[in-house]
Copies of this chain bind each other. A is one copy, B any other.
Amino acid sequence: MKNETFSGTQAAKVVAISYRQLDYWARTDLVRPSGTDATGSGSRREYTYRDLLELKVIKNLLDAGIKLESIRDVFAYMREHVDTDISSAHLVISGSSVVLCNGEELIDVLRHGQGVLNILPMSGVRDEIDRHIIEMRPEPIVLQGERETPGSKAV
């Protein structure tokens, strides 16, 4: 599963965004495909599973009413400060700083927080993506002793 990639169109579909949004976000450096970037008309972008997680986070934040401009700031911060896997328990955004918290830490943050907090539980993000990847795939062909992995280039 680690090396599988998704085309731009597939990624947009899995994450439930328009291709236009995906393209715009890639062109404006919010999330560029970390597999292969576009090199011109007719070329192919290759998004990794991790890219999909990021895209889904963005989608969820947008749906929650957060401005894309703010999401850019959040991602910039995370790229500099947050090393761990973004699928940890809760993503907590306070101003332009971001932390990843488990349940107890989250309660602390709440007790001491002063401004507006944006809290995104990450637990469902991976599940959502996996579900859409499965939906996207044709009926799987049962191979001898091996199942095809989602997003395989054979799609």
Contacts and interface: CB of A to CB of B under 8 A. Distances in A.
A67 interface: yes
A138 interface: no
Interface of A: 60-61, 63-67, 69-71, 73-74, 93, 95, 103, 106-107, 110-111, 113-121, 124
Contacts of A73: 65
Given A65-B71, A116-B121, 9 more contacts: A63-B115, A64-B95, A64-B118, A65-B74, A67-B67, A107-B107, A114-B121, A116-B120, A117-B118
Contacts of A119: 110, 113, 116-119
Contacts of A63: 95, 115-116
